[in-house]
Amino acid sequence: MLTRTAIYEGTVQAGREEEFFSRVRDELEPLWQRFPNVTAVRVQRMKSADQDARPIAMILEMDFPDMAAIDACLASSIRPESHAATVEVMKLFDGRFYHLVTEARVLPPAA
């Protein structure tokens, strides 16, 4: 399994946090769920961080079975629609977002 992660580095404009996250939920999440080959979507809103951490407002993770599935997702007709909607929501955000693709091993807790 591979995870394509979007890091939203920056801050939501002061006093507009609920508006931003409501728009993410109502406008962006339905698009993200429609991407072909996606097996899971996780939207994570930052609640706390180390004092010296970079400001991260949100992390979006989408799981895919392999790189071919990610490539097909990125080539899909939903991507331009999702990007356009993201640009509109990002007007409430001071910062940037960027993507990473990772492969994880899940370890059980020690006995």
The answer to whether 73 and 36 are in contact (CB under 8 A) is: yes
Query: What is the value of pTM for the model shown?
Result: 0.91
- What is the predicted pLDDT for the residue at 111? 84
Each of the 111 residues of the chain gets a pLDDT tens digit; together they read 999 999 999 999 999 999 999 999 999 999 999 999 999 999 999 999 999 999 999 999 999 999 999 999 999 999 999 999 999 999 999 999 999 999 998 899 998
- What is the predicted pLDDT for the residue at 35? 96
DSSP state, residue 53: S
- What is the predicted pLDDT for the residue at 33? 96
The answer to whether 33 and 85 are in contact (CB under 8 A) is: no
- In sequence order, what DSSP letters do the residues of 44-63 get, joined into one string? EE-----TTS--EEEEEEEE
CATH number assigned to the domain with residue range 2-103, chosen from the 4 options 2.70.150.10, 3.30.70.100, 3.30.420.10, 3.30.2130.10: 3.30.70.100
